[in-house]
Amino acid sequence: MSMEHKSARGFIIPIGGREEKEVNPRVLERFVQLSGGKDAIISVIPTASNLEDTGDRYVEIFQRLGVKKIYNNNISSRLDANNEIFVKQLTESTGIFMTGGNQLLLSTVLGGTVIAKMIRKRNAEGVPVAGTSAGAAFIPEHMIVSGDSGLIPRVGGVMIAPGLGLTNKIMIDQHFSQRNRLGRLLTALSYNPYKTGVGVDEDTAAIIDAEGNIEAIGSGALTVVDMSKVEFSSVASTSPGEAISLVGVKIHTLLSGDRYNTKTHEVIQLINKASEE
Q: Which of 19, 107, 175, 190 is catalytic?
A: 175
Question: In the chain, what are the helix, strand and coil shares in percent, each to the nearest 5?
Answer: 30, 25, 45
Residue type, 141: E
**Does the annotation mark 202 as catalytic?**
yes
CB 202 within 8 A of CB 175: yes
Contact 199, 185 (CB under 8 A): yes
Whether 175 is catalytic is: yes
Q: How far apart are CA 119 and CA 62, in angstroms?
A: 19
| Burial class of 85 by CB neighbour count within 10 A (0 to 12, 13 to 18, 19+) | exposed
Sequence-distant (6+) residues with CB within 8 A of 216 are 204, 205, 206, 207, 222, 254, 255, 256, 257, 258, 259
- From 35, 93, 107, 133, the catalytic residue: 133
Which residues are within 8 A (CB) of 117 and not within 5 positions of it... i.e. 6 or more apart?
A: none
Check 35, 107, 142, 202 and give the catalytic one: 202
Q: What is the DSSP string of 175-238?
A: STTTTT-HHHHHHHHHH-TTSEEEEE-TTEEEEE-TTSEEEEEESS-EEEEE-TT--EE-GGG-
Q: Which of 156, 86, 93 is nearest to 114 (CA)?
A: 86
Burial class (CB in 10 A: 0-12, 13-18, 19+), 188: buried
Residue 133 a catalytic site member: yes
Residues involved in catalysis: 133, 175, 202
